[in-house]
Copies of this chain bind each other. A is one copy, B any other.
Amino acid sequence: MTRSLLHQLAAALGDGAVLTEPDDLASYVTDWTGAISGTTMAVVRPADTAGVAAAVRLCAESGVAVVPQGGNTGLAGGATPDAAYENVVLSLSRMRRVRDVDAVADTITVDAGVVLADLQDAAHAANRLFPLSLGSEGSCTVGGIVSTNAGGTSVLRYGMMRDLVLGLEVVLPDGRVWDGLRPLRKDNTGYDLKQLFIGAEGTLGVVTAAVLRLLPDVPRRATALLALPDVGCAVAMLPLLRTHTGGLLTAWELINREALGLVLTHLPGARDPFGTPHAWYGLVELAGGSEDVEGLLESALEAAVERELVVDAVVAGSRTQRAALWALREGISEAQRIGGASIKHDVTLPIAELAEFVAEIGDLLDEVLPGVRRVTYGHVGDGNLHYNLSAPPSGDAALRASAPDLTRRVYDAVAGRGGSISAEHGLGSLKREAAASYKSDVEIDLMRSVKQALDPRGLMNPGKVVP
């Protein structure tokens, strides 16, 4: 059976599109963190939608599971095969065509394998903006960011990937192609089928192309790092910033001292812009076309100082200074990796609950592992915290031993306050069961009904998302 399927795949796609040598497979069966790994009989790399359809159909006929994979940058194991050899990894990485850019309709149509940074560049070349921006943008692909409904640092203004998708082309689990590549802003002719596939992490079909929204470019930026007394002030800043800056507020990011300290210790060239340490920091950015973003930011900061929400501020005076401020925020993940063992949590809370959550959870974690270090940062404007933990003085082994208990405490506290245990990373295999434990039976039934309706044989990315 296996050999026969591999021959059929090679005949349909060409020999070069079917990888079976262990050396060739290695990078596809392990996620980029190295923590999640599986096995596969083959990686197939079709050149176009017809090739994807042929591969999926052949796998379906053989009853072999398909694991769709984009840039393999996910953080929840959604694109990694499991330990069962009976699957085919379907890589979209050869499908890198920008099919169309329409500067009147403000749309761009791209293959699923187009890298986010290339998509941003194509928009820019048409004097437009594709606003989604995240750490892995040099590697992650359109199919992956659609399938995980990715977020990032400009969600506050522009929404998540779901908000930027106008149409999709999807290969269904039986190999048929659904052509929903419509560029329309308004279309209410029945169920909005594209919504099914956005955020489904490849469990209902394979996204092969997308029509995406473009926006007016916003070349003028005003950026500042603020020193804040506490998380409550960061939360109170949100309506203040919105009121003073109209629709131009693009980022409102939170960083605690632990996180900034890691960056200052481990990343070369990082420098504390303030003379003394502060408990919390906020990174604010406005972006506009012709608007006076500097003036608006200044007036917002004056109001914030007057209300004692901000104790100090550094406004970027140049492009270089702006880059340096963002490097402090964007370097946290890398600094934490260098700094030793860590545990990542990507959670959302109702914004009004953020401050109390942070106050409460610290003590709860100290009960489990005294001195565990809270590396807290994230997109406070969206209620989204990367509530990560690093090893205490007692060391990495202690952190690893306590990890399940620590994570359970974080998730319990988040769920208890009406939050979400996956804000923008999805569930994949890593969080599937944890998420289910906080869902109602009704919700789990609904998810299973949808899965059963679209993929009755359970061959699309098994073991992911659906409990």
Contact = CB atoms under 8 A, between A and B. Distances in A.
Interface of A: 102-106, 148-149, 151, 155, 159-160, 162-163, 172, 176-180, 182-193, 195-196, 198-200, 216, 218, 235-236, 238-239, 242-244, 246-248, 288-291, 348-352, 379, 382-384, 418-427, 431, 435, 438-440, 442-443, 446-447, 449-454, 465-466
A453 B422 CA distance: 26
B450 A182 contact: no
Given A178-B442, A187-B422, A192 B149 contact: yes
Contacts of A216: 242-243, 246-247
Given A246-B216, A442-B177, A104 B184 contact: no
Contacts of A236: 104
A384 B185 contact: yes
A56 to B, nearest CB: 13
Given A178-B446, A184-B419, 15 more contacts: A102-B350, A105-B352, A149-B188, A160-B186, A163-B163, A183-B350, A184-B383, A186-B424, A188-B425, A188-B427, A189-B435, A191-B465, A196-B196, A246-B247, A246-B290
Contacts of A427: 188-190
B185 A446 contact: no
A291 B301 CA distance: 18
Given A291-B291, A427-B189, A446-B193, A348 B184 contact: yes
Nearest to A187: B420
Given A103-B239, A447-B191, A185 B155 contact: yes
A231 to B, nearest CB: 13
B243 A289 contact: yes
A113 to B, nearest CB: 22
A465 B192 CA distance: 12
A285 to B, nearest CB: 15
Which 3 pairs, one residue from A and one from B, show the smallest C-beta to C-beta distance?
A453-B453, A195-B195, A187-B420
Contacts of A451: 191
A379 to B, nearest CB: 8
A188 B422 contact: yes
A135 to B, nearest CB: 16
Interface-centre pick from A160, A179, A187 (highest chain B CB count, 10 A): A187
Copies of this protein, total:
2
A443 B198 CA distance: 16
13 contacts: A105-B383, A106-B242, A155-B186, A178-B446, A184-B349, A188-B199, A189-B421, A189-B422, A192-B199, A246-B247, A246-B289, A246-B291, A449-B454
A422 B198 CA distance: 23
A55 to B, nearest CB: 18
A466 B184 CA distance: 21
Given A216-B243, A450-B450, A190 B466 contact: yes
A49 to B, nearest CB: 13
Contacts of A106: 239, 242
B442 A151 contact: no
Contacts of A105: 350-352, 383
Contacts of A431: 189
A450 B248 contact: no
B239 A187 contact: no
A190 B442 contact: no
A149 B239 CA distance: 28
B102 A148 contact: no
A351 to B, nearest CB: 4
A352 to B, nearest CB: 5
Contacts of A184: 348-350, 383, 418-420, 423
Contacts of A454: 446, 449
Contacts of A248: 246-247
Contact of A104 (B176, B235, B244, B438): B235
